[in-house]
Structure 1
Amino acid sequence: MYLFTGIVEEVGTISSVQPKTQALELTIACSLILEDMKRGDSIAVNGVCLTVSSFAKQSFTADVIPETFKSSALKELSNGSPVNLERAMPANGRFGGHFVSGHIDGVGKIRAVRKEGNAWTKEIEVAPALMKYMVYKGSVAIDGTSLTIFRLGARSIAVSLIPTTQADSVLGQKGIGAQVNIECDMLAKYTERIQQTKPEITRDWLAENGF
């Protein structure tokens, strides 16, 4: 599994969308992340891990398979859409955000936008099944941007964008009603899975395991 940090490296632009049956082929114009690009590299596009199928001097192409098409907001993209881009983290890299896999858990919707001091607050509707992973002052990736949750509602979270994130990410350009990709903190998901699979400690279990 490739890892990302949720720190956007560059905002690219969709230059071509080729629709397929519940799938897409995206061509994305960019510059910075092309510097050391190779065919087969993993790039997070609005937080979704995609594989580079080909690239040129000013763009790269990646396929969006049916599962990703159905579970993410990439199907909302069109020519000219801006997208957050991040290369997979190298083994000797520095984590500036949090552990991000590029595997989207769901799609949310921006419900409110407010300017508060030098920051922008965005309230985002989250599916009930994902709210259990949302923790006050915990981490969440929104469109691939690592953010901190500072308020929890019954079915929503609020995140705050510093001026740099507001200016240098796609989320900063999105307003009320826009869809966003959501990836919950993977540590929360792993913890839940471990708890679900924890064996019931009985006399028979102890005997079978040498106790």
Structure 2
Amino acid sequence: MFTGIITGVGRITAVQPLGSSSSHGKRLTLQAPPGYLDDVGLGDSIALNGACMTVTTFSAEKGEFTIDISAESLDKTSGLDNEGPVNLEKALRAHDRLGGHIVSGHVDGIGHVTRFEQVGESWDLRVMAPPALGKYLAYKGSITVNGVSLTVNRVVDSEAGCECHINLIPHTVENTALGNLRAGSRVNLEIDLIARYVERMLKHNP
């Protein structure tokens, strides 16, 4: 379980196939910020751009760790099969502050950025979510974009999907990998867990 509050920006430095066919996954080697792995152990969960992954090897001295990602996970996520920056979040501990919202680390769909421009001191981020996710998005509700817990300021429904308007403060742009986004960038999306359960309960309400 996670909160969507990014605790570090790492970098995928190597991508190696785990087999000879496309049905096999990949092994990712990542460089973490200094000291980030000091309290990490084998088998710990770390979210990469919002996708929960398991640490398979690590070196706290080098600040380096690896994860194995299945072909299924690669098919359902974006940005985890190429070298480059990624948002990192360690799994939530029972005594931690819930600074964002409840995040499972399971990507619900892939959206794409329709606008990312600076407006005054902040940034206007707009993401088109797939049509199937539109019903879970609401004004002042929460959405996770590449692992970052964000507040939805406006939703615009269309046949193409649901466009979420999000305001990013400078701190978020400077301390996550969201600053690397551009119009057309693909992003991992996770809807609010509570919205998922509400739909389930309403569907089965006698």
TM-score w.r.t. the length of structure 1 is: 0.89
- 1:114 & 1:11 partners in 2: Cα distance? 21
CA-CA distance at 1:114 after TM superposition: 2.2
Q: 1:184 aligns with which of 188, 191, 199?
A: 191
Which residue identity does 2:82 align to in structure 1? S
Any stretches of 5+ residues in structure 1 without a counterpart? Answer: 201-211
Which residue identity does 1:117 align to in structure 2? G
CA-CA distance at 1:65 after TM superposition: 1.3
Q: Which residue of 2 aligns with 1:165?
A: 172
- 1:59 & 1:114 partners in 2: Cα distance? 33
CA distances 1:100-125 after superposition (whole Å, capped 9, x unpaired): 01000001101112222211011111
After TM superposition, list the pairs within 5 Å mapping 1:1-40 onto structure 2: 3-20=1-18, 21-22=22-23, 23-30=25-32, 31-40=34-43
- 1:19 & 1:178 partners in 2: Cα distance? 24
Bigger helix share: 1
Query: What is the root-mean-square deviation in Å for CA atoms of aligned residues?
Result: 1.2
Residue 78 of structure 1 pairs with residue 76 of structure 2: no
Q: 2:71 aligns with which of 58, 66, 71?
A: 66
Aligned pairs, number? 195
- 2:43 & 2:201 partners in 1: Cα distance? 32
After TM superposition, list the pairs within 5 Å mapping 1:99-138 onto structure 2: 99-138=102-141
Any stretches of 5+ residues in structure 2 without a counterpart? Answer: none
Q: Which residue of 2 aligns with 1:47?
A: 50
- 1:74 & 1:105 partners in 2: Cα distance? 15
TM-score w.r.t. the length of structure 2 is: 0.91
CA-CA distance at 1:24 after TM superposition: 1.7
Which residue identity does 1:25 align to in structure 2? R
Greater than 4 Å deviation, 4+ residue runs: none
- 2:78 & 2:113 partners in 1: Cα distance? 13
Asked if 2 retains the 8 angstrom alpha-carbon contact of 1:27 and 1:60, the reply is: yes
Asked if 2 retains the 8 angstrom alpha-carbon contact of 1:33 and 1:86, the reply is: no
Residue 144 of structure 1 pairs with residue 142 of structure 2: no
- 2:166 & 2:100 partners in 1: Cα distance? 14
- 2:14 & 2:117 partners in 1: Cα distance? 33
Asked if 2 retains the 8 angstrom alpha-carbon contact of 1:161 and 1:172, the reply is: no
- 1:162 & 1:32 partners in 2: Cα distance? 26
CA-CA distance at 1:69 after TM superposition: 1.0
CA-CA distance at 1:97 after TM superposition: 0.5
- 2:187 & 2:164 partners in 1: Cα distance? 13
